[in-house]
Amino acid sequence: MSSIKRKNLTPVQQQYQDFARAREPQRPILSNCVRAFIGGGIICTIGQGIQWFFINYFNFDEKTAGDPTVAVLIMISVLLTSFGVYDHIAQWAGAGSSVPVTGFANTIASASLDHKSEGFVLGVGGNMFKIAGPVIVFGVFSAFIVAIISVMIKSLGGM
């Protein structure tokens, strides 16, 4: 807790904060990092295998095999989320399962499954886009900013 917030606490509240901090379990940071690395690495290795499959059996090249690979990974993630398996993977792998596109697909699928009793439009669709909307807006806004910077750099370089 920052010292500014700590100054506003009463002595009893400060004593409780010290008491709670002393009994808080230590987080296994190193093992969490290793498990995230292994989990994310396995997901990426599966993706690489799927890409290899598209390249060798469907005559895609490395550039064009990326899109169907991502689509297959998203479908696998949604299926595993539907069956309740992805939650166990995410519990073990932590951030390693949430960083790849499969983690985003899991988030959207689980939000839609949680609210399917409210109907397809307001429940499933509405809650899917509550999650996906900010990500899409951030992506579009970031691309816009990068494009402006790129145009400025190119115009300054041309002078």
pLDDT score at 2? 53
Domain residue ranges of the chain, discontinuous segments joined by +: 24-114
Chain segment 3-47, per-residue pLDDT in tens: 555 568 888 999 999 999 999 998 899 999 999 999 999 999 999
Q: Alpha helices of 58-125 — where are they, by DSSP H?
A: 66-82, 85-93, 95-98, 101-114
pLDDT score at 159? 57
Taking the chain (159 residues) in consecutive chunks of 10 residues, what is each chunk's mean pLDDT?
Answer: 66 91 92 95 96 96 95 96 94 90 89 82 81 87 96 83
Rounded CA separation 72/62 (Å)? 16
